[in-house]
Amino acid sequence: MKEFFDMGGYAFFVWWSYGIVTFVMVANVIVAKMKRKRIFKQLQELSEES
Amino acid sequence: MLAIRRRRELSNPLVFFVIVVSLFPLGVSPDQDLLSKMAPGVIWVTALLATLMSMDAMFRSDYDDGSLEQLLLLPGPKILLIGAKITAHWLSIGLPLVILAPLMSLLLYFPTHAIGSLVITLLISTPILSLLGSVGVALTLSLRSGGILSSLLILPFYIPVLIFSTMAINASANSLPVSGYYALLGAFLIVSALLIPFAVVAALKVSYN
Amino acid sequence: MMQFIHKYGSPKYFYQWSYGWQRWLTVITVLLLGFGLYQGFFVAPPDYQQGESYRIIFIHVPAAWMSMFVYMVMAVSGIVALVWRIKVAEIVIGESAVIGASFTALALITGMLWGKPMWGTYWVWDARLTSELVLLFLYFGVIALHGAFEDPRTGAKAAAILAIVGIINIPIIKYSVEWWSTLHQPATVAKFDKPSMHISMLIPLLVMALAFKTYFMALLFARTRTEVLAREKNASWVKEVVEQES
């Protein structure tokens, strides 16, 4: 197990790469979901007004 | 009066070019070898920036007083009108740069036998700079802070011109054959002269949406 | 063809048919990512030259491929938007630009992290990294132009023109950067051979590339659907959708 996380001495580079990619790809999804919620709220307010 | 004001505006980028090129020896070092090596890059990058600075003038006054819209409504090919605008811009900035650059290259100890190639690359490439730049200004014409934005859009497109021009000058400084570079730059010029006016017309239509 | 484009590009119909696609693409993405990562970390052997560090390839190369692919999607939807005036295509331009820029940034960052153990420095002005950097600049331009207009439709059209000019220029930029880098290749930087891809390394690479593609499409559908609702807020079908889903 330790050997796996050590990545033959390249742990820093490998895990940072995968970490940043995961972060950005997850953040993209979260941002999209938050925007959808925000737009829905606005649309609901709009339909309640009318 | 208007003509004088415009002439002043047009000469500003040229003064900018002269000043920025002279800053490099002050900022880096007056070392002769270093400067002569950097000279093509310095002159070319500064020329790119000076061209971009002058870009806004191409359509701005005609846009502000509404005459551009009138001209676009006229029957007949709009491409010719755009072509005339771009040519006028090149005459006001590109051509003076071609004349100024050899002078400035002396300040950077650029070898005199390669000055010919500097002039030739500028002569072929500055029209490409005007052409590509016109797309940027046409797209950002209706925006208030269009100047910086259009530079942002256009600079990446200048990269091939920058690369091939400076490589040609370096090759010439090292007494290597250069005609291949000239041919490539010439091909760029012809292709962009044929295609870009159409993009400019489309961009102006969007600006007048 | 025309009818097809207009039908599938109409905001209301797009909103309906894209839902299923988005769901299935999400499921497929998760499955592919799981399989690809398992293959990449546990099945593929270490490279004989680069050891374990080569495993960055399974995300670096797909991200780099996506950076090009997304630009193409953007330019094609730009053409569709300008020629047929399809509203959904206009939205796709702006939405894909953001995703594409993030893929490009990822390709650059992972490339730098891979370069450090390989070349000894985080940055080398080699042809691929340099053209990836220029591509990032092109994305910045499209995003900045798109956002500069108050009217989103004008912004989309302007961005479309820029993207189309860009897609014509990209091959020229790539070619010039390649030429430039072969002339300037510093002697100290050893150009290492491409690792000869064993099949056990090729499978995770291709699976991950596919996963990135489906991820992009799912995200693009999701973002475009949201934006469609926002732009069509006064249409009656949007009100129905809002009532149903809340």
Where are the strands (E) in chain C, listed by range? Answer: none
For residue B68, the model assigns a pLDDT of 84
pLDDT, tens digit (0-9, with 9 covering 90-100), for C40-59: 999 888 877 777 888 999 99
For residue B194, the model assigns a pLDDT of 93
Residue in C144, C164, C169 nearest the CB of B149:
C144
* Long-range Cβ pairs for the range B82-86 (8 Å, 24+): B82/B134, B82/B197, B82/B200, B82/B201, B82/B204, B83/B193, B83/B197, B85/B58, B85/B59, B85/B134, B86/B58, B86/B127, B86/B130, B86/B131, B86/B134, B86/B197, B86/B200
| Whether the predicted interface score ipTM is above 0.85 | yes
CA-nearest of B154, B155, B148 to B134 is: B154
**Longest alpha-carbon distance in chain B:** 59
Q: Six-digit token pair at C65?
A: 């491929």
Q: DSSP class of residue B145? A: T
A8: closest chain C residue by CA: C52
pLDDT, tens digit (0-9, with 9 covering 90-100), for B126-141: 999 999 999 999 999 9
For residue C246, the model assigns a pLDDT of 67
For residue C162, the model assigns a pLDDT of 96
Chains that touch A (3 or more CB pairs under 8 A): C
For residue C185, the model assigns a pLDDT of 57
Is C151 in CB contact (< 8 Å) with chain B? Answer: yes
Residue in A16, A24, A40 nearest the CB of C102:
A24
For residue B71, the model assigns a pLDDT of 81
**Residues of the domain holding C149:** 55-231
Q: Six-digit token pair at B125?
A: 């490439």
- Per-residue pLDDT at C146 exceeds 60: yes
For residue B1, the model assigns a pLDDT of 39
- Per-residue pLDDT at B125 exceeds 90: yes
Contact call for C53 and A35, based on CB within 8 A: no
Q: Do chains B and C touch (3 or more CB pairs under 8 A)?
A: yes
Phi-psi region of C10 (alpha: psi -120 to 50; beta: other; left: phi over 0): beta
Contact call for C106 and A24, based on CB within 8 A: yes
Count the neighbouring beta carbons within 10 Å of the beta carbon of residue B208.
Answer: 14
**A46 chain-C contacts, CB cut-off 8 A:** 233
The percent of residues in chain B predicted with pLDDT above 70, rounded, is 96
- Total domains in chain C come to 1
Q: DSSP class of residue B98? A: H
- Per-residue pLDDT at C222 exceeds 50: yes
Q: Residue B109's pLDDT band (boundaries 50, 70, 90)?
A: very high
For residue B100, the model assigns a pLDDT of 94
Q: Is the separation of the CB atoms in C117 and C60 below 8 Å?
A: no
- Per-residue pLDDT at C5 exceeds 90: no
**Residues of the domain holding B107:** 2-207
CA B202 to chain centre: 21
- Mention every residue, 6+ apart, whose C-beta is less than 8 A from residue C117: A10, A13, C50, C53
For residue C44, the model assigns a pLDDT of 87
- Total domains in chain B come to 1
Distance between A1 CA and the closest CA of chain C, angstroms: 12
Is C162 in CB contact (< 8 Å) with chain B? Answer: yes
Q: Between residues C25 and B64, which one has the greater pLDDT?
A: C25
CA pair distance C157, B209, nearest whole angstrom? 10
**A20 chain-C contacts, CB cut-off 8 A:** 106, 109-110
Q: In whole numbers, what is the pLDDT of chain B averaged over residues?
A: 89
Residue C19 counted as domain residue? no
Q: Is the separation of the CB atoms in A4 and A15 below 8 Å?
A: no
Q: DSSP class of residue C51? A: B
pLDDT (mean) for B1-17? 71
Count the neighbouring beta carbons within 10 Å of the beta carbon of residue C8.
Answer: 13
Is C85 in CB contact (< 8 Å) with chain B? Answer: no
